[in-house]
Amino acid sequence: EAGVTQFPSHSVIEKGQTVTLRCDPISGHDNLYWYRRVMGKEIKFLLHFVKESKQDESGMPNNRFLAERTGGTYSTLKVQPAELEDSGVYFCASSQGRGLGTEAFFGQGTRLTVV
């Protein structure tokens, strides 16, 4: 069974440019999450989809970030325009349920560097 897949694995862009990250969750997982880790800091929650609906987007830092999940399958996270402080590793995770003990499976992350 394929795991959570993210691409690109690395992206280097200039300040002011746009970048789109993609996440393919495990097939059949309704729940999809985005997290990010800024250098040296903890991994922070960005948002949570249930199928195509945004369940919780309380962690989105500002309106330069736009997440979508068309048809409840893969998700994209667009940063426009990118700023230096957006650099970090963006993780996607998916899970089948949301009850106690539900495990979220993580992708390998996309390392974004804004220069």
Partner 1 sequence: ELKVEQNPLFLSMQEGKNYTIYCNYSTTSDRLYWYRQDPGKSLESLFVLLSNGAVKQEGRLMASLDTKARLSTLHITAAVHDLSATYFCAVGDPGTASKLTFGTGTRLQVTL
Residues near partner 1 (CB under 8 A) are 3-4, 9, 31, 33, 35, 41-45, 48, 55-56, 59, 91, 93, 95, 98-109
Dist CA 21 CA 91 (whole Å): 10
* Cβ at position 41, least distance to partner 1 in Å: 7
The minimum distance between CB 92 and partner 1, in angstroms, equals: 9
SS (H, E, C) 13-76: ECCCCCEEEEEECCCCCCEEEEEEECCCCCEEEEEEEECCEEEECCCCCCCCEEEECHHHCCEE
106 contacts 92 by C-beta, under 8 angstroms: yes
The residue among 1 and 42 lying less far from partner 1, judged by its C-beta, is 42
| CB of 108 vs partner 1, minimal distance in Å | 4
Q: Which is nearer to partner 1, 14 or 103 (CB)?
A: 103
One-letter amino acid at 15 equals K
Q: By C-beta, is 12 or 15 nearer to partner 1?
A: 12
Q: How far is the CB of 107 from partner 1 (least distance, A)?
A: 5
Give the nearer residue to partner 1 in terms of CB position, either 15 or 98.
98
3-class SS of residue 81: coil
